[in-house]
Amino acid sequence: MKRKFAAATAVAVMASLTLAGCSGEAEPAATTEEGPVTLTLSGWSLATTPEFQVLADAFHEKNPDVTVELKEYDSAEYNTLVTADLAAGVGPDIITQKEVKFVTTFQEGGQLLDVSDVELPDGVGGASSYEIDDKAYGVPYRQDRWVLFYNKALFDTAGVDYPDGSWTWDDYADAAAAISESGTAKGAYQHRWQSTVQGFASAQEGTDVLSGEFGYFADYYDRVLDMQDAGAQIDFNTSSANQLTYQGEFGMQKAAMLPMGTWYTATLIAQQAAGEADTFEWGIAPIPQADEKTTGTDNTPLTFGDPTGLSINAGIDEGKVEAAKEFLAFAASLEAAELLAEIGITPAVADETVTEAYFAVEGAPTDDLSKFAWSTGEVAPENPTSNKTATIQNILLDMHTAILSGSTPVEQAIKDAEARFENEVQVD
């Protein structure tokens, strides 16, 4: 998707992110008639989430008269706090959209500027998540996707072949059972989130939660319950009662496989380097598929993942709009994508250079399948852009818990969720 916007066109050569900055020949600055511009950008956990400063510093290097200042919010209360600041008229100029299911809330409140004229590179992922009534109210700069992490050492010990990109969910279940039966470790760990079942089902069955018909979840839940019953993975109740973490289960080699988002790559590398995770060789494979139509490296695997994006505060000073739109265009560009990749972030757009930058990080896997899994896939949103999504996801969370805790059979839980949808969700 491409949108037109007259952003700066020359490209500075980025050499290093060692100090969260960059080097290169400066571009003409984006300025107002009054002179230099200062933009504020919302973020969270700035000490451990360097992407905001990287983008701010790189843009300032290209545009010396534009300074991007970060405004930090508590991660757990991010959307609530940003909403309060916007309502009070003290919100940031540029709003980082942490969760796409809140985009409609901001837009319906009249708090987002139409940015349909911001140019996006070809192949960018997640742009549609910011579109409402054929207008764009944000642009993606990051697009994580769900993949399969696997421990090569545990596979070797169990005598099980590594994932090769051709796996269906049945192949995954068989491998998990074989590893568990060998006594090496649990074959897999599935975290408690509803995403770990529902996200895959929606993406691979070609539908989404707005349909109100949830029968397509049944096979996916049946498979999970069968794996739990067979001991191929820890059951939901044990994981909940002990508050297990996916980082601990996979990183400490208690499970040989982990379906998880690509954000875990940087975490695992950092934890292994710091001694917070065991040292072992690991890789990334495409997430298992519903059938063989989308398996293999000659095909495009179906997976899911919500983007992270940037919007502009509708209350921004008019003299800053041009610079703010230029910042959005830069953040979504291939140039910025390479910088993000170098710090372990999965950008919304990638080419061969960006992929190589991502896997050049010390501790990252270097095999071709890992690179394929990270860079190739049809990525469906977990949270479709709608003012109904939050309510529906709450209904489906209750369904998820009821099924995996064993309190309600799959078919009954699905019927209950569909009935709640009819009663609680206003359908246009």
Enumerate the domain spans of the chain. Answer: 37-144+305-350, 146-302+382-424
Question: At residue 134, what is the residue type?
Answer: D
Residue 27 pLDDT: 38
DSSP 308: E
Measure the CA–CA gap between 135 and 104, rounded to whole angstroms. Answer: 12
Measure the CA–CA gap between 111 and 106, rounded to whole angstroms. Answer: 5
Residue 35 pLDDT: 75
Q: Residue 67 class from Cβ within 10 Å (0-12 exposed, 13-18 middle, 19+ buried)?
A: middle
Q: Residue 380 class from Cβ within 10 Å (0-12 exposed, 13-18 middle, 19+ buried)?
A: buried
**What's the start-to-end Cα distance of the chain, in Å?**
28
Specify the DSSP element, H or E, that contains 222: helix 218-230
Measure the CA–CA gap between 258 and 250, rounded to whole angstroms. Answer: 7
Please give the CATH topology (third level) of the domain spanning 146-302+382-424.
D-Maltodextrin-Binding Protein; domain 2 (3.40.190)
Pull the structure tokens for residue 312: 């502009």
Pull the structure tokens for residue 359: 């896997």
Cβ contacts of 62-65, under 8 Å, gap ≥ 24: 62/8, 62/12, 62/24, 62/26, 62/27, 62/330, 63/8, 63/26, 63/27, 63/28, 63/29, 63/30, 63/323, 63/326, 64/26, 64/29, 65/29, 65/30, 65/31, 65/35, 65/36, 65/37
Centre a 10 Å sphere on the Cβ of residue 125 and count the other Cβ atoms it contains: 23
Q: State the Rg of the chain over Cα.
A: 22
Measure the CA–CA gap between 66 and 60, rounded to whole angstroms. Answer: 6
CA 108-111-115 angle, to 5 degrees, is 95
Task: State which residues of the chain have pLDDT below 70.
Answer: 1-34, 428
Measure the CA–CA gap between 421 and 424, rounded to whole angstroms. Answer: 5
pLDDT tens, 383-401? 999 999 999 999 999 999 9
Measure the CA–CA gap between 194 and 185, rounded to whole angstroms. Answer: 24
Same fold? 37-144+305-350, 146-302+382-424 = yes
Pull the structure tokens for residue 293: 């139509």
Pull the structure tokens for residue 134: 């054929």
8 A C-beta contact, residue 41 and residue 68: yes
What secondary structure does DSSP assign to 109-129, as a single string? TT-B---TTS---TT-SSGGG
Measure the CA–CA gap between 158 and 179, rounded to whole angstroms. Answer: 5
* Domain at 37-144+305-350, CATH class: alpha beta
Entry pTM? 0.87
Residue 189 pLDDT: 98
- Mean confidence (pLDDT) of the chain: 91
Phi, psi (degrees; rounded to nearest 5) at 41? -130, 130
